[in-house]
Structure 1
């Protein structure tokens, strides 16, 4: 799994997970890679340091990321992070929790067999990759977004 730091024309910085560099390039060419904040499809990779996971416990079967919020840095000023978290929490609050049926519901919505709506839930890494390969846009969210809006 490749984790890439990405940026759109509006300078929103976000993370993307791909099976390989070829998978990233393929999804980018098919217009499947978009900024989660503004929807811009003009995305490019940023320089990033490799992440070495030496002995950490693998995450459980969930579409939610187990990572902490982005640290403060010049690329992520505190106000930008606060704004991003508020927008992401609002999206969570306005979506339907379908639990472990996430992959199944996402496919039904994509095929037009269910009403189009915002959903959230749990999916395994394999299910998430399969959904992306099928052209179904999904966004893994960190658990911190489950906290109430303030």
Structure 2
């Protein structure tokens, strides 16, 4: 696993973990790497200083342990969402609006939204969150 500093077109800087450089490139090209601040899909690697101070094994072990905890947390959160929310797929924006405006009963949903839809939902005040999602290959 590798941690990249990323930067979106709106100059938001954030970090994300990837299996390797090829995984970042593949996910970026598919448009599934999103800025957590503005949901922009136009994300590039930002300049970052290399971490070369991991000479002692305690630091390496702690770093690996923290990564394992984060991956476990993401997996558990994803399972909880899959077990307790209704999957609406690419209809997420439409369904979220219906719930927000009282056209549908309130319920927990999850799915996919385009960058444009995410921006529109945000502007309309529709409450939603973008979270990291592990594909079946990553699980």
Q: Provide TM-score, normalisation by structure 2.
A: 0.52
Bigger relative contact order, structure 1 or 2 (CA pairs below 8 A, ≥6 apart): 1
Higher helix fraction: Structure 1 or Structure 2?
A: 2
The number of residue pairs the alignment matches comes to: 93
Cα RMSD of the aligned pairs, angstroms, is: 3.7
Structure 1 residue 99: Cα displacement: 9.7
| Runs of 5+ consecutive residues of structure 2 not aligned to the other structure | 89-106, 111-127
Query: SS where residue 62 of structure 1 aligns?
Result: helix
Cα contact 1:27–1:33 (8 A) shared by 2: yes
Q: Provide TM-score, normalisation by structure 1.
A: 0.48
Structure 1 residue 110: Cα displacement: 7.9
Aligned residue for 2:79?
A: 104
Alignment deviations for residues 63-92 of structure 1 (CA, whole Å, 9 cap, x no partner):
28xxxxxxxxxxxxxxxxxxxxxxxxxxxx
Alignment deviations for residues 3-50 of structure 1 (CA, whole Å, 9 cap, x no partner):
111111110011111000110011111111010000000011112121
1:39-118 matches, cutoff 5 A: 39-52=39-52, 53-55=54-56, 56=59, 57-58=62-63, 59-60=65-66, 61-63=68-70, 101-108=76-83, 112=87, 115-116=108-109
Aligned residue for 1:17?
A: 17
